[in-house]
Amino acid sequence: MSLSLLAGTEAERRLLPGGTLRGPTPYVIAIMTFAMMIVAAAGLALANAAGIVAGAVEHRYVLQLPDGSAPKLAAAVNAAKAVPGVTSVEPVPEAEMRRTLEKWVGTGGLGEDLPVPAIIHLNLEPNTHAARIGAALTRAIPGARFIAEQATVQPLLGSLRALRWLAVAMVLLMAAATSAAVVLAARGALDTHRQTIEVMHGIGATDQQVALLFQRKIALDAMVGALAGGAIAALALLLVGGGGLALASDLTGGPPLHLADLIALALLPVAAVLIATLVARFAVLSALHKVI
Amino acid sequence: MARRRTHARSHFTRRGWPLSAIVEFDSVGLRYGTGAEVLRDLDFRLAKGGFYFLTGPSGAGKTSLLQLLYLARRPTRGRIQLFGQELTDAPRDVLPNYRRRIGVVFQDFRLIRHLSAFDNVALPLRITGRSEAELEGPVREMLAWVGLADRSSARPPTLSGGEQQRVAIARAVISQPELLVADEPTGNVDAEMAARLLHLFTALNRLGTTIVVATHDISLIARTPGAQLMRLEKGSMADPTGSLRNPPSEGRSQ
């Protein structure tokens, strides 16, 4: 008997009758592959979003002034520009600050005589000592607070990273569930074909020859299931997920999935087939070892 | 394994057994689970090229003994040597190579129901890696010999008991085994076919195959001059002449 993985001769195929799609295996693998791809796509998109957000605020800081009157703001801007390591200084216009504050204090709540705080966005050079720059700025601008934007978005980044790991865990759990389903399918197939196995063993077939028959059958089932599940998942990601992905893209300012992510997603059905095939082989060989 | 082989060889020399024995049982016992022993203290040798009939009342342990012979079971005690190799505790991955040297005709035929007669007969050759072109001729010839040339594509459920038995015999002998073990091979065939099958066994025996046939058919034994009788009773081998413990060293016994 040849040791080809999936082809097999016509005579070998006749030994275990029943083509693909006869049992639950292809359907289970299709569902699992579909779910794995959707969850993996979400996980990858979250990971990318977290990366984009973290990258965007990595060197960004905020200087808060309690009194944002024009002379003080101008002095603070000049002082910030003078500190080495500061690459850009962007004060938020007073009108914009007023509009923002009116949301809390109401229209007309801010009198002309009431000082409006000011915010200045700063970009620092990479690899600069931010704390030292912060200290220099707060010395030069009394009352100012120097805040890293990363600290502001940290809760969001933490949530995104947790969701990414949750997605990884779910993909692994689904892979484990797929493996368990394959083990059950392999055991069922062994029971169904027990007589054939006994005869084959009796006339000198090796465990590897017997296992190959089952492995090939389950690999074909897995391939059909994984292709179907993968195709439906791809369609769902394009049609249903397209809107969400576009929104995520707008929010983060970057593509939700890169080419490498798409390749990883496309490899998931292949991985599902390989896992199913290896698990089937292991399950069959383990079962065969219990007989003489 | 090397140590085991050395042990076996020395054991053999101590007993003064000739090297031509194809099967050697040394104080072999077999029990199922925790029950009583179904085979006890079996001590015999089968000479290479011998023809043996195994007889005994139902329940004497004939099928169990045959299962030990075709390596479907391991003994619970004692030692078994086949083809000059100690196989009592041999790793299971070496057993297939020995099983390929043994042809078996099971009492219940054990044909694969969903395969045609042709595929059933071809199975031992396919397992050994013969190509379809190589096996086509021998399989057709063998089916013709057992009178089933026109039934080659029939599946076992559509064959009569006798036809199934002939397919089982064809499958057992197709690879010209060194040892042929048959459990009641003529139980379901008419007298004419029984004679033809016996003729086939005799022809194989002349070519050097050692034959062991478990049977109740006295006429079969009577028609096979030179065959030796092994009688099992309550799990023990009756060997009043001692010829099973010390058979002739060459060719057919007697």
Instruction: Examine the domain organization and report whether B38 and B162 are in the same domain.
Output: no
Tokens 């496309």: give the residue: A266
At B165 the pLDDT is 87
In a domain, B92, yes or no: yes
Condensed to tens digits (0 to 9), the pLDDT of residues A153-186 reads: 888 888 988 998 999 999 999 999 999 988 888 8
Rounded CA-CA distance A136/B134 in Å is 91
Instruction: Examine the domain organization and report whether B135 and B239 are in the same domain.
Output: no
Q: What mean pLDDT value characterizes chain B?
A: 84
Chain A: nearest CA to B14, how far in angstroms? 31
Number of Cβ within a 10 Å radius of residue A180: 12
Q: What mean pLDDT value characterizes chain A?
A: 84
Chain B: nearest CA to A197, how far in angstroms? 10
In a domain, B208, yes or no: yes
Instruction: Examine the domain organization and report whether B117 and B221 are in the same domain.
Output: no
Rounded CA-CA distance B66/B76 in Å is 15
Predicted ipTM of the assembly: 0.79
Q: A182, A183, A181: which is closest to A287 by C-alpha?
A: A183
Angle at B101 between CA B100 and CA B102, to 5 degrees: 90
Please indicate if any CB of chain B lies within 8 Å of the CB of A203.
yes
Condensed to tens digits (0 to 9), the pLDDT of residues B14-55 reads: 344 444 889 999 999 999 988 889 999 999 999 999 999 999
In a domain, B106, yes or no: no
* Mutate: best of B115, B139, B173, B174, partner A, most A CBs <10 A: B115
Please indicate if any CB of chain B lies within 8 Å of the CB of A209.
yes
Angle at A3 between CA A16 and CA B138, to 5 degrees: 70
pLDDT level of residue B136 (50, 70, 90 thresholds):
very high
Q: How many domains does chain B have?
A: 2
Instruction: Examine the domain organization and report whether B83 and B158 are in the same domain.
Output: no
Which of B145, B175, B205 delimits the end of a domain? Answer: B175
At A80 the pLDDT is 84
Which of B121, B146, B175 delimits the end of a domain? Answer: B175
As a whole number, mean pLDDT of residues B104-110 equals: 88
Q: Say whether pLDDT at B75 is over 50.
A: yes
In this prediction, what percent of chain B has a pLDDT beyond 70? 86
As a whole number, mean pLDDT of residues B82-89 equals: 92
Chain A: nearest CA to B127, how far in angstroms? 6
pLDDT level of residue A2 (50, 70, 90 thresholds):
very low
pLDDT level of residue B204 (50, 70, 90 thresholds):
confident
In a domain, B72, yes or no: yes
Which of B175, B199, B224 delimits the end of a domain? Answer: B175
Condensed to tens digits (0 to 9), the pLDDT of residues B111-122 reads: 999 999 999 999
In a domain, B252, yes or no: no
Instruction: Examine the domain organization and report whether B23 and B4 are in the same domain.
Output: yes
Tokens 């099983």: give the residue: B99
Instruction: Examine the domain organization and report whether B12 and B93 are in the same domain.
Output: yes
Instruction: Examine the domain organization and report whether B51 and B32 are in the same domain.
Output: yes
Residue B146 C-alpha from the chain's centroid:
19
Residue A43 C-alpha from the chain's centroid:
2
Condensed to tens digits (0 to 9), the pLDDT of residues A97-125 reads: 888 888 777 776 666 667 788 899 998 88
CB B253 within 8 A of CB B83: no
Instruction: Examine the domain organization and report whether B185 and B239 are in the same domain.
Output: yes
DSSP symbols for A101-137: HHHHH-TT-S-TTSPPPEEEEEEE-TT--HHHHHHHH
Contact assignment for A292 to B71 by CB distance below 8 Å: yes
In a domain, B253, yes or no: no
At A110 the pLDDT is 66
Instruction: Examine the domain organization and report whether B181 and B166 are in the same domain.
Output: no
As a whole number, mean pLDDT of residues B60-87 equals: 93
SS3 B101: coil
SS3 B59: coil
CA of B91: how far to CAs of B1, B85, B86, B238, in Å? Answer: 9, 12, 11, 31
Instruction: Examine the domain organization and report whether B44 and B92 are in the same domain.
Output: yes
Q: B166, B173, B162, B165: which is closest to B149 by C-alpha?
A: B166
Instruction: Examine the domain organization and report whether B94 and B189 are in the same domain.
Output: yes
CATH code at position B67? 3.40.50.300
Rounded CA-CA distance A93/A68 in Å is 10
Q: Name the residue ranges covered by the structural domains of chain A.
A: 10-55+156-288, 67-143
List of chain A residues whose C-beta atoms are within 8 Å of the C-beta of residue B106: 202
Instruction: Examine the domain organization and report whether B202 and B78 are in the same domain.
Output: yes
Chain B: nearest CA to A192, how far in angstroms? 12
Shortest CB distance from A14 goes to which of B97, B99, B119?
B119
Please indicate if any CB of chain A lies within 8 Å of the CB of B113.
yes
Please indicate if any CB of chain A lies within 8 Å of the CB of B40.
no
Is the backbone of residue B59 left (phi > 0), alpha (psi -120 to 50) or beta?
A: left
Structural domain harbouring B146: 111-175
Is pTM, for the whole model, over 0.90? no
At A252 the pLDDT is 65
